[in-house]
Amino acid sequence: MMTVSRRETRALRSSDDVVRVRQAVRQWAMAQGFSLVDQTKMVTAASELARNTVDYGGGGNVLLEALNEGSRRGLKLTFSDQGPGIADIELALRDGYTSGSGLGLGLGGARRLTNEFAIDSTPGGGTRVTITRWQCGDRR
Ligand SMILES: Nc1ncnc2c1ncn2[C@@H]1O[C@H](COP(=O)(O)OP(=O)(O)O)[C@@H](O)[C@H]1O
Ligand SMILES: [Mg+2]
Protein backbone atom coordinates (compact mmCIF):
# COMPACT_ATOMS: atom_id res chain seq x y z
CA MET A 1 0.00 0.00 0.00
CA MET A 2 1.28 3.43 -0.92
CA THR A 3 0.93 6.19 1.62
CA VAL A 4 1.69 9.91 1.57
CA SER A 5 3.72 10.74 4.68
CA ARG A 6 4.02 14.45 4.05
CA ARG A 7 2.29 16.93 1.75
CA GLU A 8 2.79 20.64 1.11
CA THR A 9 1.89 23.23 -1.52
CA ARG A 10 4.27 26.00 -2.60
CA ALA A 11 3.46 29.03 -4.72
CA LEU A 12 5.26 29.56 -8.03
CA ARG A 13 4.93 33.16 -9.13
CA SER A 14 8.50 34.45 -9.42
CA SER A 15 12.10 33.41 -9.98
CA ASP A 16 12.60 33.59 -6.21
CA ASP A 17 9.81 31.02 -5.84
CA VAL A 18 11.62 28.77 -8.34
CA VAL A 19 14.77 28.97 -6.19
CA ARG A 20 12.77 28.18 -3.03
CA VAL A 21 11.10 25.19 -4.69
CA ARG A 22 14.49 23.88 -5.83
CA GLN A 23 15.69 24.08 -2.21
CA ALA A 24 12.54 22.41 -0.88
CA VAL A 25 12.82 19.56 -3.40
CA ARG A 26 16.47 19.05 -2.43
CA GLN A 27 15.49 18.85 1.26
CA TRP A 28 12.55 16.53 0.69
CA ALA A 29 14.61 14.22 -1.55
CA MET A 30 17.33 14.13 1.10
CA ALA A 31 14.76 13.36 3.81
CA GLN A 32 13.41 10.52 1.64
CA GLY A 33 16.87 8.96 1.59
CA PHE A 34 17.70 9.77 -2.05
CA SER A 35 21.33 9.52 -3.08
CA LEU A 36 23.04 12.77 -4.09
CA VAL A 37 22.66 11.81 -7.76
CA ASP A 38 18.94 11.04 -7.34
CA GLN A 39 18.41 14.29 -5.42
CA THR A 40 20.02 16.24 -8.22
CA LYS A 41 17.95 14.52 -10.90
CA MET A 42 14.72 15.41 -9.09
CA VAL A 43 15.88 18.98 -8.39
CA THR A 44 16.81 19.45 -12.07
CA ALA A 45 13.45 18.13 -13.28
CA ALA A 46 11.61 20.27 -10.71
CA SER A 47 13.57 23.34 -11.72
CA GLU A 48 12.56 22.98 -15.39
CA LEU A 49 8.88 22.45 -14.57
CA ALA A 50 8.81 25.28 -12.02
CA ARG A 51 10.35 27.58 -14.62
CA ASN A 52 7.68 26.58 -17.15
CA THR A 53 4.91 27.22 -14.60
CA VAL A 54 6.21 30.76 -14.10
CA ASP A 55 7.23 31.54 -17.70
CA TYR A 56 4.41 29.92 -19.70
CA GLY A 57 1.69 29.19 -17.17
CA GLY A 58 1.57 32.70 -15.74
CA GLY A 59 2.38 31.33 -12.29
CA GLY A 60 0.77 28.58 -10.26
CA ASN A 61 1.89 26.18 -7.58
CA VAL A 62 3.54 22.87 -6.86
CA LEU A 63 2.29 20.14 -4.55
CA LEU A 64 5.09 18.13 -2.91
CA GLU A 65 4.23 14.65 -1.65
CA ALA A 66 6.56 12.25 0.15
CA LEU A 67 5.59 8.68 -0.78
CA ASN A 68 6.11 5.46 1.13
CA GLU A 69 5.40 2.05 -0.35
CA GLY A 70 6.72 -0.71 1.84
CA SER A 71 10.38 0.09 2.33
CA ARG A 72 10.63 2.15 -0.82
CA ARG A 73 10.40 5.89 -0.64
CA GLY A 74 9.60 8.38 -3.35
CA LEU A 75 8.81 11.96 -4.12
CA LYS A 76 5.89 13.14 -6.22
CA LEU A 77 5.59 16.70 -7.52
CA THR A 78 2.52 18.17 -9.19
CA PHE A 79 2.94 21.50 -11.00
CA SER A 80 -0.32 23.32 -11.72
CA ASP A 81 -1.22 26.55 -13.44
CA GLN A 82 -4.28 28.19 -14.95
CA GLY A 83 -2.40 29.51 -17.96
CA PRO A 84 -3.05 29.07 -21.70
CA GLY A 85 -2.43 25.32 -21.68
CA ILE A 86 -0.52 23.30 -24.29
CA ALA A 87 -2.27 22.70 -27.63
CA ASP A 88 0.14 20.02 -28.91
CA ILE A 89 1.68 18.07 -26.03
CA GLU A 90 3.70 15.77 -28.30
CA LEU A 91 5.31 18.77 -29.97
CA ALA A 92 5.98 20.45 -26.61
CA LEU A 93 7.77 17.29 -25.42
CA ARG A 94 10.07 17.21 -28.44
CA ASP A 95 13.66 18.10 -27.67
CA GLY A 96 14.52 21.49 -29.11
CA TYR A 97 10.94 22.73 -29.39
CA THR A 98 10.26 26.03 -27.66
CA SER A 99 7.53 28.60 -28.16
CA GLY A 100 9.68 31.10 -26.28
CA SER A 101 13.42 31.63 -26.19
CA GLY A 102 14.40 28.51 -24.24
CA LEU A 103 16.38 25.48 -25.33
CA GLY A 104 13.27 23.32 -25.53
CA LEU A 105 14.76 20.64 -23.32
CA GLY A 106 12.74 21.17 -20.13
CA LEU A 107 9.80 18.81 -20.55
CA GLY A 108 11.76 16.04 -22.29
CA GLY A 109 14.54 16.37 -19.73
CA ALA A 110 12.10 16.19 -16.81
CA ARG A 111 10.54 13.07 -18.32
CA ARG A 112 13.92 11.35 -18.68
CA LEU A 113 15.00 12.26 -15.14
CA THR A 114 11.96 10.74 -13.44
CA ASN A 115 10.26 7.35 -13.13
CA GLU A 116 6.73 8.58 -13.82
CA PHE A 117 5.76 11.59 -15.89
CA ALA A 118 2.32 12.84 -16.90
CA ILE A 119 0.98 16.00 -18.53
CA ASP A 120 -2.65 17.01 -18.30
CA SER A 121 -3.31 20.15 -20.31
CA THR A 122 -6.07 21.67 -22.39
CA PRO A 123 -5.94 24.91 -24.36
CA GLY A 124 -7.40 27.59 -22.14
CA GLY A 125 -7.71 25.19 -19.24
CA GLY A 126 -4.26 25.35 -17.70
CA THR A 127 -1.57 22.71 -17.30
CA ARG A 128 -0.75 20.06 -14.75
CA VAL A 129 2.52 18.15 -14.91
CA THR A 130 3.15 15.32 -12.45
CA ILE A 131 6.53 13.67 -11.85
CA THR A 132 7.50 10.91 -9.46
CA ARG A 133 10.90 9.57 -8.66
CA TRP A 134 11.61 6.60 -6.42
CA GLN A 135 14.63 6.15 -4.22
CA CYS A 136 15.59 3.10 -6.31
CA GLY A 137 16.09 4.78 -9.64
CA ASP A 138 16.12 1.51 -11.59
CA ARG A 139 12.43 0.82 -10.93
CA ARG A 140 9.81 1.99 -13.35
N1 LIG B 1 3.00 25.26 -18.03
C2 LIG B 1 2.97 25.48 -19.35
N3 LIG B 1 1.96 26.20 -19.90
C4 LIG B 1 1.90 26.42 -21.24
N5 LIG B 1 2.84 25.98 -22.11
C6 LIG B 1 3.87 25.28 -21.61
C7 LIG B 1 4.00 24.99 -20.22
N8 LIG B 1 5.12 24.27 -20.04
C9 LIG B 1 5.67 24.11 -21.25
N10 LIG B 1 4.93 24.71 -22.22
C11 LIG B 1 5.19 24.73 -23.67
O12 LIG B 1 6.09 23.67 -23.97
C13 LIG B 1 7.24 24.20 -24.61
C14 LIG B 1 8.46 23.36 -24.28
O15 LIG B 1 8.81 23.50 -22.92
P16 LIG B 1 10.29 23.14 -22.48
O17 LIG B 1 10.61 21.77 -22.98
O18 LIG B 1 10.42 23.38 -21.00
O19 LIG B 1 11.18 24.16 -23.29
P20 LIG B 1 11.43 25.74 -23.08
O21 LIG B 1 11.04 26.08 -21.68
O22 LIG B 1 12.89 25.91 -23.33
O23 LIG B 1 10.56 26.42 -24.09
C24 LIG B 1 7.32 25.65 -24.16
O25 LIG B 1 8.07 26.44 -25.06
C26 LIG B 1 5.85 26.02 -24.12
O27 LIG B 1 5.37 26.32 -25.40
MG1 LIG C 1 11.17 25.01 -20.01
In the beta sheet, which residues pair with residue 119? Answer: 129
In the beta sheet, which residues pair with residue 2? Answer: 69
Q: How far apart are CA 140 and CA 127, in angstroms?
A: 24
Confidence check: pLDDT of 15 > 80: yes
Q: Which residues surround ligand 2, an ion (CB under 5 A)?
A: 52, 102, 106
User: Which domains, from first to last, does the chain contain?
Assistant: 2-137 (3.30.565.10)
Confidence check: pLDDT of 138 > 60: no
User: Cα(68) to centroid of ligand 1, in Å?
Assistant: 31
Q: For the whole model, what pTM was predicted?
A: 0.96
Q: How far apart are CA 69 and CA 24, in angstroms?
A: 22
User: What pLDDT score does 139 carry?
Assistant: 44
Does the C-beta of 53 come closer than 6 Å to ligand 1? yes
45-73 pLDDT, tens digit per residue, is 999 999 999 999 999 999 999 999 999 99
Residue 89 has phi, psi (to 5 degrees) of -65, -40
